[in-house]
Amino acid sequence: MGLFNFNKKTKESKKLPYEAQLYLLAISALQNSEYQKSLDLFNDLINNHMNKSDLTDQEAGFYYNRSTAKTQLNDIDGAINDLKTSIKIHELEQAHYELFRLYQFKEEPQKGISSLIRAYELGNGNAEKILRENTNYFNE
């Protein structure tokens, strides 16, 4: 019986924290095109398990990934808001680029041009290509 308790303690000590488990489930659902499930899991993670006063790069990723689920569920405005929140926490070049793409999708590309430029400045190759092919940004 002592050995069983030892193994049980060892097994429990190897368990991921609940928040990490939620994140892995949410990412897995997103990768498997289970967008509503992913959205629900990210909502739970963001609304109930984050310290909102001390947000980290990881939490910026939560908002970025939730925006992907929202985009796939045609909640474009919700996705835009999540991307803006993600960028406020930590500037990710892909978040800026995706923000531009969503404004382009909404046929409001001018609203996203500053995000496209910032994505380029942060090293996004797709943003550079779009700027070179469609603007005079590099001629100035």
Evaluate if residue 97 carries a pLDDT over 50: yes
Rounded to two decimals, the pTM is: 0.84
What residues does CATH 1.25.40.10 cover in the chain?
Answer: 11-90
What are 14-31's pLDDT values in tens digits? Answer: 577 888 899 999 999 999
Assigned fold of 11-90: 1.25.40
To 10 degrees, the CA torsion angle through 86, 66, 97, 52? 0
What's the pLDDT band for 13 if we cut at 50, 70, 90? very low
**By C-alpha distance, which of 93, 94, 115 is closest to 104?**
115
Q: CA 12 → CA 8, 9, 23, 53, distances in Å? A: 6, 5, 19, 29
